[in-house]
Amino acid sequence: MIKYVIRGGRPLSGEVSVSGAKNAALGVIAASSLVEGVTRIENIPKILDVTLMLEILRELGAKVRLVNGSTVEIDSTSIVNTSASYEAMRKIRGSYYFIGALLGRFGHAVVAMPGGCDLGVRPIDQHIKGFEALGAEVKVKSGFIHATAREGRLKGAHVYFDVITVGATINVMIAATMADGLTVIENAAKEPHVVDTANFLNSMGANITGAGTDVIKIRGVESLHGGTYSIIPDQIEAGTYIAAVAAAGGSVLVKNVIPKHLECITAKFSEIGMSFEEYDDALLVSRTGKLMKTNVKTLPYPGFPTDMQPQITAALCLAEGTSVVTEGIYDNRFKYVDELKRMGANIQVDGKVAVVEGIESFSGAPLCACDLRAGAALVIAGLAAKGTTEIRGVHHIERGYEKMVEKVRGLGGDIVCVDVPDADELSEVG
Ligand code: EPU
């Protein structure tokens, strides 16, 4: 077990380079299992979720070779299994993309119900609706999803999603890539990682148009070939460093970004007083004065992302006046608020709405991260706080942020990762 220890109160400065996008990498890794040949994927983030996805691929029979820290070669020609173990699958949400991939390539998949952050109810009914429309029979039995194409191969169809869902859009798109005929997905999610997964598949020979709009058309192909693909930069990691500068102050050049993907984030941070200078693939982020209050509602892309909600809330705790943060995607994404309150935050949560009264400063405290973005919010608060903050549960953070401690230290933040003796860990459970 490890914990982060942060001595806060230092403004951030310097440069930070953003890694490849977690949620794009998960889609692309699963989609690579459709390919008969070698796929070389570059700009892969070095995070726990990616390691787990690659483990699942190996378990299915693919050959996976790490070329260097951020490049991996996957040869899925040898995939023989169409079922993956509960152990690997349950730990990670993105594992559900293997249902679409295996069903699309082999007409059969047995995959454990997915895990992921506990953000309230996270049904997969829209994934199932999509697979059924494509001619699959889907049953959930003893914690596993069993999906079988009735005619051996999926058949193109119209799929209309009742809610905008990133996961089901990517999953059904992957499944339809090698289906017989045309699939049209309506009310599709438009997130950059949906587009990235479509671009990856197209570069391997798929025929997908419209990704990034709410109608995606997929004309099924017989097979996909190998190739090289580079994952887009992580919009949420970049946003997290923007929120850190907002809370702690300073000026940071956030490198390796696609500024267009960040507009939904920078628009809100501009409202609260942050300034941005845009370059081709970098943003200079600065806080010069006091933060100002604002209201935020999380929405599907291009709205403000739910995956940035805890981080902006941490920054708004230090803004002048009262801000209202409304969670528009999940039922229960304010669990971290109790931890911020230990640092002196003044936040009232009622269901999906948090009312945040600005305070002068946070005071350092012992904290526990309950999920990935919650953990990021606690790091942000710790960097801005007076005194020392200790954060446990940081395995959640390491699921999705590459080298956060190293990157923050590179910006002058005083953060270290230390081992927690087992006995110490146990004494806290009781
Ligand atoms: N939903 C349904 N039925 C479904 C699928 C989704 O009702 O079949 C609902 C969900 O309950 C939720 C909403 O639709 O209320 C959106 O869910 P979505 O499917 O878009 O989310 P997801 O695919 O489970 C991905 C990311 C999340 C991110 C969301 C929203 C991955 C692996 N996860 O989750 O990332 O919050 O999209 O953008 O791509 C994170 O990175 O911290 C994270 C939680």
How remote is the CA of residue 16 from the centroid of ligand 1, in Å?
A: 28
Specify the ligand 1 atom closest to the Cα of 129. 8
* Tokens 């289906």 sit on residue: 179
Distance CA 5, CA 204 (A): 44
Short-list 31, 35, 38, 46, CA closest to 101: 31
Residue 169 to residue 31: CA distance in whole angstroms: 13
* Beta carbons within 8 Å of 57's beta carbon, 6+ residues apart: 29, 32, 33, 64, 74, 76
CA pair distance 415, 246, nearest whole angstrom:
17
4 CA distance to ligand 1 centroid (A)?
A: 28
CA of 172 to the centre of ligand 1 (A): 14
Q: Does the fold of domain 22-230 match that of domain 2-19+233-429?
A: yes
Q: What is the DSSP string of 133-172?
A: HTTEEEEEETTEEEEEETTSS-B--EEE-SS--HHHHHHH
Q: Does 417 qualify as catalytic in the annotation? A: no
Q: Furthest-apart CA pair in the chain: how many Å? A: 64
Distance CA(113)–CA(420), nearest Å, equals 32
Q: Which of 117, 264, 368, 370 is catalytic?
A: 117
Q: If one looks up domain 22-230 in CATH, what number appears?
A: 3.65.10.10
Yes or no: is domain 2-19+233-429 CATH 3.65.10.10?
Answer: yes
Q: What is the DSSP letter of 95?
A: G
Tell me the CA–centroid distance for residue 264 and ligand 1, in Å.
Answer: 18
> How far does the centroid of ligand 1 lie from the alpha carbon of residue 281, in Å?
27
pLDDT of residue 428: 39
Atom 39 of ligand 1: nearest residue by CA position? 23
- Closest by CA to 249, choosing from 283, 273, 268, 277, is 273
CA distance 70 to 43: 5
Which protein residue has the closest C-alpha to ligand 1 atom 5? 124
Radius of gyration of the chain (CA): 22
Q: Half-sphere exposure of residue 169, counting CA atoms within 13 Å on the CB side? A: 30
How would you classify the pairing of strands 2-7 and 414-419? antiparallel
Residues with CB under 6 A from ligand 1: 22-23, 26, 93-94, 117, 121-127, 163, 165-168, 189, 306-307, 329-330, 372-373, 400
Give the residue, out of 163, 304, 404, with the most ligand 1 atoms within 8 A of its beta carbon, to mutate for a pocket test.
163
- pLDDT at 359 (0 to 100): 98
Whether the Cβ atoms of residue 93 and residue 112 lie closer than 8 Å to each other? no
* Whole-number pLDDT of residue 83: 81
- pTM as predicted: 0.96
Atom of ligand 1 nearest to the CA of 373: 42
Which residues in 288-321 belong to E strands, given as ranges? 295-297
Say whether the peptide bond before residue 302 is cis (omega within 30 degrees of 0).
Answer: yes
Domain ranges of the chain: 2-19+233-429, 22-230
Candidates 329, 336, 370, 398: which one to mutate for ligand 1, based on the most atoms within 8 Å of Cβ?
329
- Cα–ligand 1 centroid distance for 275 (angstroms): 30
Compute, in angstroms, the gap from residue 167 CA to the centroid of ligand 1.
6
Determine the residue of 165, 172, 331 to mutate for testing ligand 1's pocket, defined as the one with the most ligand atoms within 8 A of the Cβ atom.
Answer: 165
| Protein residue with its CA nearest to atom 14 in ligand 1 | 165
Q: Mind listing the pLDDT tens digit of every residue in the chain (430 residues)? A: 899 999 999 999 999 999 999 999 999 999 999 999 999 999 999 999 999 999 999 999 999 999 988 999 999 999 988 887 778 777 888 889 999 999 999 999 999 887 666 777 788 999 999 999 999 999 988 888 999 999 999 999 999 999 999 999 999 999 999 999 999 999 999 999 999 999 999 999 999 999 999 999 999 999 999 999 999 999 999 999 999 999 999 999 999 999 999 999 999 999 999 999 999 999 999 998 999 999 999 999 999 999 999 999 999 999 999 999 999 999 989 999 999 999 999 999 999 999 999 999 999 999 999 999 999 999 999 999 999 999 999 999 999 999 999 999 999 999 999 998 865 554 433 3
Q: What is the pLDDT of residues 171-229, one digit of tens each?
A: 999 999 999 999 999 999 999 999 999 999 999 999 999 999 999 999 999 999 999 99
Which residue has a Cα nearest atom 36 of ligand 1? 307
Atom of ligand 1 nearest to the CA of 169: 19
Q: Which residue, judged by its Cα, is nearest atom 43 of ligand 1?
A: 307
For ligand 1, what atom is nearest to the CA of residue 166?
20
Closest C-alpha residue for ligand 1 atom 37: 166
